[in-house]
Amino acid sequence: MFQRFRRTRLNKHLRSLVRETHVHVEDFIYPLFIRPGVEIKTEVSSMPGVFQMSIDEILKECVILKELGIYSILLFGIPDVKDSIGSDSLCEHGIIAASIREIKKHHPDMFIVTDLCFCEYTDHGHCGIIDEENETVHNDATLKISAQQAIVHAKAGADMIAPSGMMDGIIETLREALDAEGFENVPIMAYSTKFSSGYYGPFRDVAESTPSFGDRTSYQMDPANRREAISESLSDEAQGADILMVKPALAYLDIVREIKDATTLPMAVYNVSGEYAMLKLAGRNNLIDYDRVMMETMVAFKRAGADIIISYHAKEVAKLLQK
Ligand code: PBG
Ligand code: ZN
């Protein structure tokens, strides 16, 4: 027999030498949900281990994250007061701006990415301004206030901005707005290929962002579309995105690979709330070996082409990598 594949599998050290894909703690961005108040730390029932926290608790969380080697965070704000245009997100005293300033003050070494959208801030729960006539999100009106929101984030000290609303032309709009205000060195991580997905269910509990009517199919992508998924990301690249993203991750690894092969930009995957909840609950019920399945999933993201993994598992992964 000339070919014996098992030859390189027999020794542990040799297996390490020939391993093609590696997961590092530096690959991760950890999402955090911030709400007004003090000493608030509320676990989300559908996502064990994930909390809504007030700013003081977030500051403590940053200490823990850094001990684990996680320096990059993705912030979501949950304001107390919501309205039709998401005013809290457009105000420099709003929850997100205040949080960025506080984190930067106490943890200047953290890298703060902000999710830029309106669904957590609007009373109707959609990702922008509603066009009453067409009962959907008005694209170009939403672009205008998105530019405002980006400037609020940047002025507060955000290190990178990640627009997640799937509005056409968003990258170009934000790039121009940021440059005009002197923020030409603030990168944009585009939620470039974001599908309309049932896997966001638990997130909408934690972010309190379920649409009050209809759904997001008029702006997020149809899960059935592969060619369109590539076009979406390449369009964001052409508009000046610095990093592309596929979201959700696990059911879309084919899309990750295809975009990776079509771009030279770094790629992120968002390992979303429903994916996290599935592993968590299966693990808690002893249906799977949680740690093992989690690490296998992370390797799969990297193997498919992801450079960056946004994941609620990040802390647990970091702990395992430390062993
Ligand atoms: C908001 C937003 C969503 C997620 C990130 N930003 C949800 C949505 O589009 O409803 C999903 C994150 C997750 O499920 O973990 N635009
Ligand atoms: Zn949104």
SS3 317: helix
- Identify the bridge partners of residue 193 per DSSP, sorted by sequence position: 246
Helix axes 253-262, 227-238, angle to 10 degrees: 40
Task: Give residue 288 CA to ligand 1 midpoint distance, Å.
Answer: 26
Please give the number of the atom of ligand 1 that sits closest to the Cα of 312: 15
DSSP secondary structure code for residue 84 in this structure: T
Distance CA 160, CA 34 (A): 17
pLDDT in tens, the chain (323 residues): 999 999 999 999 999 999 999 999 999 999 999 999 999 999 999 999 999 999 999 999 999 999 999 999 999 999 999 999 999 999 999 999 999 999 999 999 999 999 999 999 999 999 999 998 878 999 999 999 999 999 999 999 999 999 999 999 999 999 999 999 999 999 999 999 999 999 999 998 888 888 999 999 999 999 999 999 999 999 999 999 999 999 999 999 999 999 999 999 999 999 999 999 999 999 999 999 999 999 999 999 999 999 999 999 999 999 999 98
**Catalytic residue numbers, as ranges:** 194, 247
pLDDT of residue 26: 98
Residue of 118, 120, 209, 250 to test ligand 1 pocket, by largest number of atoms within 8 Å of CB: 209
User: Phi and psi at residue 34, in whole multiples of 5°?
Assistant: -115, 135
Task: Give residue 125 CA to ligand 2 midpoint distance, Å.
Answer: 8
The residues near 243 (Cβ < 8 Å, ≥ 6 apart) are 160, 187, 188, 189, 190, 265, 266, 267, 268, 308
Please give the number of the atom of ligand 1 that sits closest to the Cα of 166: 16
Q: Identify the CA nearest to 236 among candidates 181, 291, 288, 168.
A: 168
Task: Give residue 146 CA to ligand 2 midpoint distance, Å.
Answer: 11
pLDDT of residue 209: 85
> Is the pTM here over 0.85, yes or no?
yes
pLDDT of residue 323: 84
